[in-house]
Chains A and B, each alone.
Chain A
Amino acid sequence: MKKVFQYLPAFLFCGFIFVMMGLWLVLPKTLYSPQEKRTLAEFPELNGNTLLNGDFQKKLDTYLSDHMPGRNFFVGVNAVYDLASGRNGSKGIYLGEDGYLFPKPAEGGENLLKNAAYIKEFADDSDIPVYMTVIPSSGYVNRDKLPWNHESYRDNEWIGAFCGQLGEKVHFVDVQETFVETAADTQLYYKTDHHWTSRGAFECYQALGKTMGYTPLAESAFEKETVSGFYGTSYAKAALWFLPPDDIELWHNRSQGKDAVKVNIKDGADSKSNNSYFFREQLENDDKYPVFLDGNHSLVRITNEDVPTGTLIVIKDSYAHTIVPFLSQHYHDIIMVDLRYYKKEVSALAAQEKADAILLLYSLDNLAADTNLSYLF
């Protein structure tokens, strides 16, 4: 018996490397990793050329690591190990209290001010009123749920500096305080995703009303439908697989007329339409957030026949998809533009649509990183 244990390390080691190799050869290969949202490497091209210049060897290594047996298991083990050895946030995501995952604070202070200058120039030239709000990050708002050791979230400083550069013509609505206050007893952000929840969007919708001149509907005007099993991007990055999923709430206006809503999506030559703000087929996927307005597209027109007039242009990132259904209760037409894909002049679009107002809506993290605001004009 002693002999067995004495040599066991050798057998464990050989067993492990041989079994791993065997599984690698035998297991079927998937081409897409839903966790990482990317296509995995394909088996590299093998010929004299690629072999001699080392190309095949390099790509084979990527191929092997992309398709390693039990990849998710091992990545999860590593995430738990990092956490246990003190490095919460080693993958860019902090694990906080109550299963909250927080992306680390964004970088890009200089870019933020550059973007402020673009927006100022755009608003100064615009005859249509320009409104703007910046959504603070989950880590800033839910500060009491952060782990004890974390980098500072300076949303307050950054948004302040950003506002200071915007000039008089941008009507800026600051939701930071409201968010910090309401976050104590409501869930404004998903736990497993960086986006805000329908509740978070609703709070922002309430706050925007005063400045934009509409009377927001009360919470009781909506019927909430809960969809469970949402694992967001923070979950995929953190790889802490034991965490429970989020619920997504779809808020339906109780008095909305049948077929009153029409969503038209234009993305280059492709187009599609839907008679709801919610694209239910997206609930089948791992990432369920695109249930709101079908995710990112260059141009989306949302028409609500229950509202007689009003045209609003929304220049935005993906956070807007949750709030636009609320705003749509006050505008006949909302035209949602994503500057990451829409490369024409926004001012021309606004004039052509005879827009009544323009709203810029970004999350702080995206705004700090975004380099597409030069496409405003």
Chain B
Amino acid sequence: MVFSSFIFLFGFLPVVLALYYITPRRFRNLTLFVVDLVFYSWGEPMLVLLMMVSVLINYIAGILLGARRQKKSLSRFIFVTAIILNLGLLGFFKYVGFIGETLQFVLPFLNIPILEVSLPIGISFYTFQTMSYTIDVYRNAVKVQKNFIDFGTYVSLFPQLIAGPIVRYADVAEQLVHRRENLQQFTDGVKLFLIGLAKKVLLANQMGILWDSIRKSGEASGALGAWVGIIAYTFQIYFDFSGYSDMAIGLGKMFGFEFVKNFDYPYISKSITEFWRRWHISLGTWFREYVYIPLGGNRKGLGRQIINMSVVWFLTGLWHGASWNFILWGVYFGILLIIEKTFMLKVLKKLPAIFGHIYALIFIVLGWVLFYFEDMNEMGSFVARLFGADGWMMSSDVTPTVLAYVPLLVIALLVSTPLFTTIYHKIKWQPMQLMIDNVGCVLSLLLCTASLASSSYNPFLYFKF
């Protein structure tokens, strides 16, 4: 079930809100857990069992680790087993087809059969969540969660279940048991949810239509059209993903949870290093916390740091999808980050800020080319088109489409910057703020409902992962 669907907005959500708030406080997690399972099984009726297996593995691992804390070797054995099981499930369901294909390509004479496994929704997200728990229990950083319902609620919490943010157990352990919902928090949640919904429905979907249309026009788009197209995709993926995160965080607030921020205007970055501090923050945090720092981080000399960064960025790429272009994308950013770490950041600091912005944006946008095209041949010809292989100008067939989207492209550009937020917070007269809040909510509700009613074009990009 996606958030921007009728069944969610006008079916699931009102029912769940009603059920949740008529449930006595101590049973509220149970209510949430049950509706989470309904939410998940809506799209994947059988695969909900897989998620339950994942919940059980980590729940039991946590209990065992807690009980055997004194015996170092035993608890290491339990820990390693749990991690292998977690990564094994993720590996099998996400990567087995990819590994088969790659092996067959490299060693065709072996005749390795390729298994067709369909990717369970959200497995990359919930596996990382459960692992954060088990790792932190092993490191003695959090207390063991003995209540199965509370633990299950944490893993399967429907707001962030299928597309993040990746909430670390340590961040919500306290809230799971002791949260106090209140009207102010609920109102903030509604506002954030409606902002996210508008980002997704009014911007991301429309940018997607433009990108599809330009891509399909092929050579006719020329270099200019191709740049407009990939910029449209740059906006699409940002508003799609950050819109989804906003909706998730907003929904969390409606049920009394506070999740960490996942996006912080990534396109205003002055370097790639900064971009990755602002883009998909919860994923970056996870890799830093559970891979980069345990590997030694930057404490063992530059050589070791470069190796550590390489590992992290290879894995980051791989996490985004079982295909070589995602690995390429991760490695691409890995290399850029290593270059920045060794000397580029110092150079950028001496230059006026505008150079940093241009440099970062060009490489971010080119990065999305790698991210989008799973087929290397298509990627190659698109890159060639960007640099003039099919002429510089767009043909008269493409121009009207591009012109029609100029107003939305401008809006998307402005919304990608903190401009509106800054203006909003500069308003010292509270009635004005309240009016903006209320008018904004009504407009978002009206236009998003209208857009959904009018279109069946509603694919969530981040379902692939």
Interface residues of A (CB under 8 A from B): 2, 5-10, 12-14, 16-18, 20-21, 24, 51-54, 57, 60-61, 64-65, 68, 71, 74-79, 81, 85-91, 149-152, 239
Find chain B residues with CB under 8 A from A85 CB.
407-408, 411
Give the residues in chain A near B15, CB-CB below 8 Å: 21
Q: Which residue of B is nearest A20, CB measured? A: B10
Closest residue on chain B to residue A54 by CB atoms: B45
Considering the chains assembled together, what is the distance between the CA atoms of A60 and B43 in angstroms?
12
Cβ < 8 Å to A, chain B residues 20-70: 42-46
Q: Which of B232-240, B375-383, B434-442 participates in binding chain A?
A: B434-442
Ranked nearest first, the 4 interchain pairs of A and B with the lowest CB-CB distance are: A78-B450, A74-B453, A78-B454, A86-B407
Contact A52 B46 (CB under 8 A): yes
Q: Which residues of B contact A18 (CB under 8 A)?
A: 14
Given contacts A9-B187, A78-B447, contact A149 B403 (CB under 8 A): yes
| Known contacts A10-B183, A68-B453, A75-B450; 18 further A-B pairs (Cβ under 8 A) | A5-B434, A5-B438, A8-B441, A9-B190, A13-B193, A17-B14, A21-B10, A21-B11, A53-B45, A65-B6, A65-B453, A68-B10, A77-B450, A78-B454, A78-B455, A86-B404, A87-B404, A149-B400
Once the chains are docked, how many angstroms separate the CA of A18 from the CA of B12?
Answer: 11
Q: Which residues between 56 and 93 of chain B lie within 8 Å of chain A, taking CB atoms? A: none
13 contacts between A and B (CB under 8 A): A5-B437, A8-B441, A9-B194, A10-B190, A13-B193, A14-B190, A17-B14, A54-B45, A61-B6, A68-B10, A77-B447, A85-B408, A239-B454
Distance (Å) between the CB of A84 and the closest chain B CB?
9
Q: With a CB–CB cut-off of 8 A, which chain A residues contact B405?
A: 86-87
CB distance from B79 to the nearest CB of A (A): 36
Alpha-carbon separation in the docked complex, A6 to B182 (Å) = 13
B190 x A2 contact (CB < 8 A): no
Contact A78/B9 with A149-B404, A150-B400 known, Cβ cut-off 8 Å: no
With A and B bound together, what is the CA distance between A24 and B191 in angstroms?
25
Chain B residues whose CB sits within 8 angstroms of the CB of A20 once the complex forms:
9-10, 449
Within the assembled complex, what's the spacing in Å between the Cα atoms of A79 and B454?
A: 8
A-chain residues with CB within 8 Å of residue B435 when the two chains form the complex: 5
- A9–B254 Cα gap in the complex (Å)? 12
Instruction: Please provide the chain B residues from 109 to 167 with a CB less than 8 Å away from any CB of chain A in the complex.
Output: none
Q: Nearest residue in A to B15 (C-beta to C-beta)?
A: A21
Is there an interface contact between B406 and A14, defined as CB atoms closer than 8 Å? no
Q: Does B186 contact A (CB under 8 A)?
A: yes
Which residues of B in the span 415-447 have a Cβ within 8 Å of any Cβ on A? 430-431, 434-435, 437-438, 441-442, 445-447
A10 to B190, CA, bound (A): 6
CA distance A60 to B435 in the complex (A): 37
Cβ–Cβ contact B397 & A152, under 8 A: yes
| Interchain nearest-CB distance for A122 vs B (Å) | 32
Asked if A51 meets B7 with Cβ closer than 8 Å, knowing A17-B14, A79-B454, A149-B400, the reply is no
What is the distance, in angstroms, from A348's C-beta to the closest C-beta of chain B? 42
Q: What is the bound-complex CA distance between A3 and B219, given in angstroms?
A: 57
Give the chain B neighbours of A6 by CB distance below 8 A: 184, 187, 434
CA distance A76 to B453 in the complex (A): 10
Counting chain B CB atoms within 10 Å of each CB, the highest count among A5, A13, A239 belongs to A13
Q: Does B396 contact A (CB under 8 A)?
A: yes
Residue of B nearest to A23 (CB): B10
Is B442 a contact partner of A12 (Cβ separation < 8 A)? Answer: yes
- How far apart are A149's CB and chain B's nearest CB, in angstroms? 5
- B-side interface residues, number (CB < 8 Å): 55
Instruction: Select A77's contact among B42, B434, B446, B455, beta carbons within 8 Å.
Output: B446
Contact A86 B11 (CB under 8 A): no
A residues less than 8 Å from B260 (CB atoms): none
**Pick from B397, B406, B449: contact of A74, CB under 8 Å:** B449
CB pair B406–A9 under 8 Å, yes or no, is: no
Between A2, A8, A24, A61, the greatest number of chain B beta carbons within 10 A of the residue's beta carbon is seen for A61
| CB proximity of A125 to chain B, nearest CB, Å | 38
Min CB–CB distance B238 → chain A (angstroms): 19
How far is it, in angstroms, between the C-alpha of A234 and the C-alpha of B284 when the chains are bound? 50
In the complex, whether B5 has a CB less than 8 A from a CB of chain A is yes
Closest beta carbon of chain A to B42's beta carbon, Å = 5
- For A16, what are the chain B residues with a Cβ–Cβ distance below 8 Å? 445
Q: Are B451 and A78 in contact (CB under 8 A)?
A: yes
Complex Cα spacing A5 to B441, Å: 12
Establish whether residues A81 and B447, one from each chain, have CB atoms under 8 Å apart when the complex forms.
Answer: yes
Residue of B nearest to A69 (CB): B10
Assembly CA distance A192 to B208 (angstroms) = 29
Shortest distance between the CB of B86 and any CB in chain A (Å): 26
CA distance A229 to B456 in the complex (A): 30
Question: In the bound complex, what is the Cα–Cα distance between A14 and B15 (angstroms)?
Answer: 11
Residues 190-224 (chain B) with a chain A CB within 8 angstroms: 190-191, 193-194, 206
Which of B187, B193, B404, B453 is A88 in contact with, Cβ under 8 Å? B404
Q: A77 to chain B: which residues have CB within 8 Å?
A: 446-447, 450
B453–A71 touching, CB < 8 Å: yes
CB distance from A184 to the nearest CB of B (A): 24
Q: Does B228 contact A (CB under 8 A)?
A: no
Which of chain A's residues have a CB closer than 8 A to the CB of B396?
152
B194 contact from A13, A87, A89, A150, Cβ within 8 A? A13
Query: Does B173 have its Cβ within 8 Å of any Cβ on chain A?
Result: no
Is B338's CB within 8 Å of the partner chain A? no
Best-surrounded residue of A75, A79, A88 (most CB of chain B within 10 A):
A75
Distance of A158 from chain B, by nearest CB (Å):
14
